Amino acid sequence: MNARATTAARILLGLVFFVFGVNGFLHLFPLPTMEGRAAQFIGGLAASGYFFPLLFATYTIAGTALLTRRFVPLALTVLAPIIVNIVAIHLFLAPSGFQLTILVVGLEVFLGWSYRAAFRPVLRARDEVARRAASAP
């Protein structure tokens, strides 16, 4: 059951990011308009000229990695700060659309837990390589 749930979560999260990434380039469906401070923030990011193409490319590549089951821990790592920013935008600037955000956070946390063995080496408090190098003759 856990393998099926992991596969379903990986595919669903991959679809979310792949579809939104491709939509960023092809404009298949309109995104909701922002108002107030959210519009100012998004306008500033758009004015940079590079941010949204980079973001949509990252969405597409990470979504593809999740869908093809290639580099899944790397895709989850790349998407984590993006998801944190999405949560922050919806918490502080644009409260609408929070349902999809909660789903994405849940899928990311579930997949992070499912792939926890891949993250174990980077979550160690001490650097084993440096310790071994210091004790080498």
Q: Which tens digit of pLDDT belongs to each residue from 91-113?
A: 998 887 788 899 999 999 999 99
Place of tokens 């979550």: 123
Give the pLDDT confidence score for residue 99 in this predicted structure: 85
Residue ranges per structural domain of the chain: 2-135
pTM: 0.87
Distance of CA 36 to the CA centre of its chain: 25
123 confidence band (pLDDT: 50, 70, 90)? confident
Confidence label for 137 from pLDDT (cuts 50, 70 and 90): low
